Amino acid sequence: MSVATEHRSPAKPSSEARALLGAAGNRVRVSEEAKRKKESLKKNQKPSRLVSETPCLAAGNNLSVDSTCSSDSSLGGSSVKMVSSKRRMKPNGLRSVKVVPDGVESAVPIPVKRCDWITANSDPLYTAFHDEEWGVPVHDDRKLFELLVLSQALAEFTWPAILSKRDMFRKFFDDFDPSLVAKFTEKKVLSLRSNGSTSLSEPKLRAVVENANQTLKIQQEFGSFSNYCWSFINHKPIRNGFRYARQVPVKIPKAEIISKDLMHRGFRCVGPSVVYSFMQVAGLANDHLVTCFRYHECNNNAGKDQKPKNEDIEVRTNANSTRSSHD
């Protein structure tokens, strides 16, 4: 009996992983699919980066951004390297960054405290006059003569109005040089009055010319008009130390003494109120309120700007007389 021979086809190679013999025993190689998953996992992971973050620079405003500047950022037009940030954002998707130049936060300027009669609505000229001139000790004769004339004008104008005409006053009064104003003729006075150049009344114009003549006489007697004025207060400014504007008077006893002496010498339109205004503006009296930032500054200026007293001038005068006698 014949037996049919059974033929078997060769086994197809299996696509699955086969067991391999290793030194530590049998191990199963990771499948290609597992490899792909592992590589995909590695790609999705972001590399950690260490970045020294600094605030973004801008012109003093807050900037809302979703990135921060690296330590390479700087001023002067250089580029700023931006690095994305994963910090928590605001609901609108932006993050506020406080911008500070050079890494130093600038202080917010605090409004200075001035005398109560200077307000936010005051004329800029008047404010500058308060901040730079009013109450500063003056020792220049020409400047003192100018301030005396302007104080006389207060009878007809306010300080803001006078300051607006100041350049015009200087032009028509020859920069307040007493030696030149004293030479004004009657025709000159009438011309100034007729064309309204100075806006001063005729009595005031005549008083300016007469006071210029008397100023020259004082210069000859006391050496300077400054020395004459400051001698009444022992060459030291009066510091009243008022706290409120209502405390500032329109005149003081010392102003009455000076006024009386001026009128005795032939000065005109120099009543106690005019003289006291002159003392305030020329720094003979520091009437800035104690709460005003200028009060202490004017006191400091007074200490730095002391001029020779009467005794020194008398010594020099005697020395000159002695030399003249020997000559």
pLDDT (tens digit per residue) in 228-275: 999 999 999 999 999 999 999 999 999 999 999 999 999 999 999 999
CB 226 within 8 A of CB 140: yes
Q: Is 162 exposed, middle or buried (0-12, 13-18, 19+ CB in 10 A)?
A: buried
Q: How far is Cα 324 from Cα 126, in angstroms, rounded to an integer?
A: 49
Per-residue pLDDT, 56: 38
Q: Are 162 and 153 in contact (CB under 8 A)?
A: yes
- Predicted local distance difference test score (pLDDT) of residue 174: 94
Please give the annotated binding residues for Zn(2+), written as ranges: 115, 130, 288, 292
Amino acid in the structure at residue 236: K
Cα distance between residue 176 and residue 170, in whole Å: 6
pLDDT at 109: 65
CA distance 250 to 223: 30
Distance CA 219, CA 144 (A): 12
Regions of the chain short of the pLDDT cut 50: 1-7, 13-28, 48-87, 89-95, 97, 305-327
pTM over 0.85: no
SS3 assignment, position 26: strand
CATH number of 124-326: 1.10.340.30
Which of 251, 242, 245 lies closest to 279 in space, CA to CA?
251
Q: Which residues contact 155 (CB under 8 A, 6 or more apart)?
A: 204, 269, 274
Residues of the chain with CATH 1.10.340.30: 124-326
* Whole-number pLDDT of residue 310: 41
Task: Provide the pLDDT for residue 23.
Answer: 46
Four-residue CA torsion sign, 272, 274, 278, 281: positive
- Binding site: what residues are annotated? 115, 130, 288, 292
Annotate 295-324 with b (16+ C-beta within 10 A) or e (fewer).
beebeebbeeeeebeeeebeeeeeeeeeee
